[in-house]
A and B are shown apart, each in its own frame.
Chain A
């Protein structure tokens, strides 16, 4: 017991220790005292079940045991998705997979994550437990350990229930050097599966745009798929996960970074019929809708079929396809050949894509 608690006990003659079985987050949970400790021991430690995390140091010190001269990959990302729970996932699963995937597409083997939570006063602890369980499952799936974390609590009304920031480290083998600046004319553009699933899943539960059919997010950790692909051909130039801004934005960034043009074919792009229908109804373009379990990969022409084949054999890549190629025309721009043969430029997303009526 701390000093202040002892004084209070003396003052009132009965045990005024804060009742530790709360079902909602209180401001006190973020203050670093017993309530914080209580939250960590009751929710985070059993949830993540990690030896290093259990030591509760200020940092996680990890012994690296790996091949000669690996490079350290390090990334961070924040997650503020609404609603917190959606078909196919939740903010926790997103927070793990998002950071794991950012590491994986650089060729890194993701190893360790940190998680910082900003919780709003009043958040039901059951919801937090659900999120933690989901993160643990995602970590196990991805083969990563969550080894360090932090919690802060803000006043009711000052935060939107939960914000999570995850950072991750991984190791990149010395011989790999993937970069979005590496694409060369003649290379093929490969896509690991259907686009638009995540964004449409989110939109489908938002107020005013509900569908009767359940559309699921594709949120998933891609590290294993990436390793499978690199094993099939280490000559892969680069990979990218098309999250916010969709496939269009990722391809535009690539075109700009490599100083090349990108040509894709609408007919080659995998799209689930339900996602297509939802996009039609809302007037959205699937090229701009977020994905959370997909990647694009630029592969030299002579290795493309081999990599594609390896992807298709993997559960997360069975809808993989070659969707286009890198060219030396229209440098920095992405051009799509439409279903009917005409062409259009696929620009970067300007602002948010809003459902249209005309």
Chain B
């Protein structure tokens, strides 16, 4: 339960004393409630589900699968017999 999309915080503001933000999703913006990611700042990415930010994206962790794939590449190169 499930449809959560990553978006970039453009700006934050308060509405009825609740932290809100304008979040950009690859060219389309929407208003999102940021109450539960209080330390998220403009420029950072959050996962948004039904207009609500659930968590902040960790850039270092986001790279992990690509580092793993890179290491697989290197293993492939090592195991290829040289001619």
Contacts and interface: CB of A to CB of B under 8 A. Distances in A.
Question: In the complex they form, do A and B come into direct contact, defined as C-beta atoms under 8 angstroms apart?
Answer: yes
Interface of A: 211-213, 215, 273-274, 276-278, 280-281, 283, 356-358
B60 interface: no
Contact of B3 (A211, A213, A273, A356): A356
Given A356-B3, A358-B3, A274 B50 contact: no
A308 to B, nearest CB: 27
Q: How large is the interface on B (under 10, 10 to 19, 20 to 34, 35 or more residues)?
A: 10 to 19
B51 to A, nearest CB: 9
Interface stretch (B21-29, B36-44, B64-72, B73-81): B21-29
B29 A212 contact: yes
B5 A281 contact: yes
Given A212-B22, A357-B50, A274 B3 contact: no
A286 B49 CA distance: 20
Nearest to A283: B3
A213 B27 contact: yes
Interface of B: 1-3, 5, 22, 25-31, 48-50
A182 to B, nearest CB: 38
Contacts of B48: 281
Contacts of B49: 357
A358 B28 contact: no
B28 A274 contact: yes
A280 B50 CA distance: 12
A278 B25 CA distance: 8
A140 B50 CA distance: 44
Given A212-B22, A357-B50, A274 B2 contact: no
Contact of A358 (B2, B22, B25, B31): B2
Which 4 residue pairs of A and B lie closest in terms of their CB atoms, listed nearest first?
A212-B29, A277-B26, A277-B28, A274-B27
A356 to B, nearest CB: 6
A39 B60 CA distance: 67
Contacts of A273: 26-27
14 contacts: A211-B28, A211-B29, A213-B28, A274-B27, A274-B28, A276-B26, A277-B25, A280-B5, A281-B28, A281-B30, A357-B2, A357-B3, A357-B50, A358-B1
